[in-house]
Structure 1
């Protein structure tokens, strides 16, 4: 019975990967192929495959953890799943046109970044009763950050005001996880393993998410032509996504396995 359960999980993961592979059909039947000198395009391909592998891993590892951690691992898998699908489209946009896939990038972030914020709420909910206000404050900060960034990158607002709006949203999130109610619940109610994971996660949000405004700055605020800065912008964003999606999920997985195995 256990073998059948594991095999069904394997088939589900393989089916998910196959479905993702179908989405890799070029968005506009691209006539261009990836060139050895296109390091931005190579980064899109590497990360899209890493996201597929991470998705399969997180879904399969749900069998190793206790029920209270399964939702957290599911959300981690959903983050990498959604990101992988969008990366298939983004890499085709880049290879075919050499332009920044801004719309696909922000659609991805609009789904995955709130899910990452939900992870803070979920790991605390697994060990304590957490007020709904924590969830909504994290969501509000996330939306302000994303809307500000998109308005600037898509040309709906001047670059500097949009940048400042996005930074305000990010700072609001940092306050909540370092000094707000979420931080206090973690400090007073969480076991050592959860506190360690929470601490690492919030440092990823601090250092890892700082990579995005750096990319925005070099892509748009240096006074150069954004088209000339597109390569650097996308490499920075792509590297940030590896840290902030895959590594973030691995932290959740680590504490979930540790907590679950300590109960046996």
Structure 2
């Protein structure tokens, strides 16, 4: 539940982390737009999706940021006192779920697209992963907004089913496709799945806090910070790694392209 009062330190912590996420998503998207010509066309779809993901996340975090500032106000001079909930305003957690409903399936599209698999294999993977990702978010939302721990636990359990299925596809089914990838990217792609698992693991922990009777301002601040860090890892950091994979695969596919790019890097370094 949203606390009635935040201390100055708690308010500043959430404020700064929300600001950090906006900067991370926005400038990751800018970097990827600039770097897009530096990979082969067949891998640009994956990076284009990554740009869209970071753009969606930046937009929703702007909305979350504005909602947070409107929800908590202080009468203290210089804003150094406690912050209380504003009358007629509330923090809208729904922005996160709209963001996740759009971006979580696209994160899986990024991964499959950068593999550049045979179209039939790629389509089969996406038909499994994308609906499961959307269903995971849709099932989690009713529990998130419910004040009933029984209902929260039920929807948390239901959302875990598609989550487990996604993990099964990523770590069992997708492993067969990794064998077809260049040796230079197999380890990176394998670790990328663990990055998704690590970052997504923050969400159920935060989701379970009320069920564990952990509440109050500190718990709410911890949840907002955890969500923010997880979104940076799962979107901005993930996107940069996807770009690294696309660049390595571009070099492996086309030695002439690799020579040209390395020459550009050498010229830039000398300059």
Could you tell me which residue of structure 1 aligns to residue 268 of structure 2?
A: none
Say whether the 8 Å CA contact 2:182–2:249 is kept in structure 1: no
Q: CA RMSD in A?
A: 2.0
Could you tell me which residue of structure 1 aligns to residue 98 of structure 2?
A: 107
Secondary structure, aligned partner of 1:38: helix
Deviations 1:43-64 (A, max 9, x none): 0011101111001001111110
Map 1:95-134 to 2 at 5 A.
95-98=69-72, 100-124=91-115, 126-129=116-119, 130-134=121-125
Could you tell me which residue of structure 2 aligns to residue 191 of structure 1?
A: 182
Map 1:58-207 to 2 at 5 A.
58-98=32-72, 100-124=91-115, 126-129=116-119, 130-155=121-146, 158-180=151-173, 182-187=174-179, 189-207=180-198
Aligned length: 226
Unmatched tracts of structure 1, length 5 or more = 1-34
Residue 104 of structure 1 and its aligned partner are, at CA, apart by 0.6
Say whether the 8 Å CA contact 1:100–1:234 is kept in structure 2: no
Greater shift, 131-140 or 221-230, is seen at 221-230
Secondary structure, aligned partner of 2:213: coil
Residue 102 of structure 1 and its aligned partner are, at CA, apart by 1.6
Q: Which structure's relative contact order is higher, taking Cα pairs within 8 Å and 6+ residues apart?
A: 2
Greater shift, 222-231 or 55-64, is seen at 222-231
Say whether the 8 Å CA contact 1:128–1:190 is kept in structure 2: no
TM-score by length of 2: 0.77
Say whether the 8 Å CA contact 1:127–1:190 is kept in structure 2: no
Deviations 1:65-96 (A, max 9, x none): 00111111111111100000000010111122
- Structure of larger gyration radius: 2
